[in-house]
Amino acid sequence: MLRYLTSGESHGPSLTAILEGLPAGVRIDSAAIDHEMKRRQLGYGRGARMTSIETDRVVFLGGVRSGRTIGSPLTLEVKNKDASIDRLPKVTRPRPGHADLTGALKYGTHDIRDILERASARETAARVAVGAVAKLFLKEFGIEIFSHVVSMGGVEAHPEKLTWDQVRKRAEASVLRCADSAVEKKIIALVDKAKKAGDTVGGAVEVVALGVPVGLGSHVQYDRKLDARLAGALMSIQAIKAVEVGAGARVSGMLGSEMHDQIYHSPGKGFHRKTSRSGGFEGGMTTGEPVQIRIHMKPLSTLLRPLESVDIETKKPFRATVERSDVSAVPSAGVVAEAVAAFELAGAMIEKFGGDSVAETKRNWKGYLKQVEKF
């Protein structure tokens, strides 16, 4: 069973994660991990602060020896540049849309800093680190995960005619992580406009996984359905308010005759589909088709335009103002979503194939692929 816990506050000494259950022998490609950390920090719409600061780096304090995993749990540490948590002032003014008020009431604290330090999206650095390792594991099995922005501020991208390879490359080359360059320009204009207005912009991202074998997850119990696990995990990313698998919310407006991915078979391909409305899942299991999941991120809750709120000590209303703010973190959310999806898929691989070394897991996986082929 693959599992992880993250810890750390945004102005604490570091973010850490312990990741447990990975087989021995996964090559830890530091450059690949650094690259993921960097991808998380980029994206049009971030303030100067975010893009100018030094890139996060992952240090392994456990579980890695001579560049490979040894079966032990991994400790991943991302040091914070600004570890001022004990010197930072008390906060009594909750920001709407954040965990501030709710957390203060729950934990019984009158210093909102106790809450916001952990609720901050800074935590996603630890999750991206975990996901980067999960990606390295998945790569051993030819599984690849990427994401692209499919809409922002109501402007929708149309990458339908592109191949997956084109989508991935164009998204990686885009400052917005958007594969549709015409739409990218419109969104940039929209972001610039929002910035001037002191406002923030929401958006949607599609996460795609290619090479996933048929039969991960299971229909037999509600908590073993892999689409459900992915949905839960993706919804746990800060600011995500909707998750759609395949055709997603559009299914409620569809007819059965339009919806279902019909089944074909040919000697070379085996069983396959020509459409992908299911998002790669039937009965909570992967179909072997591309996994496609969309997430919707709300506009950032910290904005220059003041929102009304109430001081938790004085109970007096005030208008929440900030000096600076990102306009959007949607491109970055895609990178986080990849990481989160990578962890869930890696876990499902280990559940199905077992194994304590990559060689063993791979042998089991190959045996199954042959079984499916001969089916």
In whole angstroms, give the CA distance from residue 123 to residue 369: 37
Residues 199-238 that bind a copy of itself (CB under 8 A): 199-204, 214-215, 218-223, 225, 227-229, 231-233, 235-237
Q: Pick between residue 144 and residue 199 the one whose CB is nearest to a copy of itself.
A: 199
User: What gap in Å lies between CA 28 and CA 26, rounded to an integer?
Assistant: 6
Joined together, the tokens standing for residue 298 give 């709300």
CB of 289 to a copy of itself, least distance (A): 10
The rounded distance, in Å, linking the Cα atoms of 143 and 136 is: 9
Q: Which of 182, 256, 269, 323 binds a copy of itself (CB under 8 A)?
A: 256
Q: Of the two residues 49 and 165, which places its CB atom closer to a copy of itself in the complex?
A: 49
Which region among 49-57, 158-166, 175-183, 255-263 touches a copy of itself (by CB under 8 A)? 255-263
Q: Which of 138, 94, 132 is nearest to 116 (CA)?
A: 94
Contact 291, 281 (CB under 8 A): yes
Residue 199 and residue 303 in contact, taking contact as beta carbons nearer than 8 Å:
yes
Question: Residue 366: how many CB atoms within 10 A of its CB?
Answer: 12
Q: How far is the CB of 94 from a copy of itself (least distance, A)?
A: 6
260 binds a copy of itself per the rule CB under 8 A: yes
| Cβ(204)–Cβ(295) below 8 Å | yes
Size of the site for a copy of itself (CB under 8 A): 156
Where on the phi/psi map is residue 153: left (φ > 0), alpha (ψ -120 to 50), or beta? left
Instruction: Map the footprint of a copy of itself across residues 118-157, applying CB under 8 A.
Output: 118-119, 127, 151-154
- CA–CA dist 337, 5 (Å, integer): 17
Q: CB of 181: closest distance to a copy of itself in angstroms?
A: 20
The answer to whether 69 and 134 have CB atoms below 8 angstroms apart is: no
Q: 344 near 225, Cβ under 8 Å?
A: no
Contact letters for a copy of itself, residues 151-190 (x by CB under 8 A): xxxx------------------------------------
Least separation in angstroms between CB 207 and a copy of itself: 14
Could you tell me which of 239, 359, 228 has the C-alpha nearest to residue 300? 239
The residues in 16-35 that bind a copy of itself, with binding defined as CB under 8 A, are 16-18, 20, 23-25
Q: Which of 141, 148, 165, 169 is nearest to 286 (CA)?
A: 141
Binding mask 333-352 for a copy of itself (x = CB under 8 A): -------x---------xxx
Q: Is 268 helix (H, G, I), strand (E, B) or coil?
A: coil
Binding residues among 69-128 for a copy of itself as defined by CB under 8 A: 70-75, 77, 85-86, 94, 96-110, 113-115, 117-119, 127
Q: Tell me which residues in 261-290 interact with a copy of itself (CB under 8 A).
A: 261-265, 271, 273, 278-279, 282-288
Burial code (b: 16+ CB inside 10 Å, e: under 16) for 83-117 equals eeeeeeeebbbbbebbbbbebbeeeeeebbbbbbb
**Of 165 and 260, which CB lies nearer to a copy of itself in the complex structure?**
260
DSSP bridge partners of 3: 20
Nearer to a copy of itself, 87 or 163 (CB): 87
Binders in 303-332 for a copy of itself, by CB under 8 A: 303, 305, 307-310, 312, 315, 317, 330
- Closer to a copy of itself by CB, 159 or 288: give it: 288
Least Å distance between CB 9 and a copy of itself?
6
**Residue placing its CB nearer to a copy of itself in the complex, 104 or 171:** 104
Return phi, psi of residue 12, to 5°: -85, 180
Q: Which of 29, 34, 144, 360 binds a copy of itself (CB under 8 A)?
A: 360
Using the minimum distance from each CB to a copy of itself, give the nearer residue, 152 or 207: 152
295's tokens: 């997430």
- Comparison of 101 and 169: residue with beta carbon closer to a copy of itself: 101
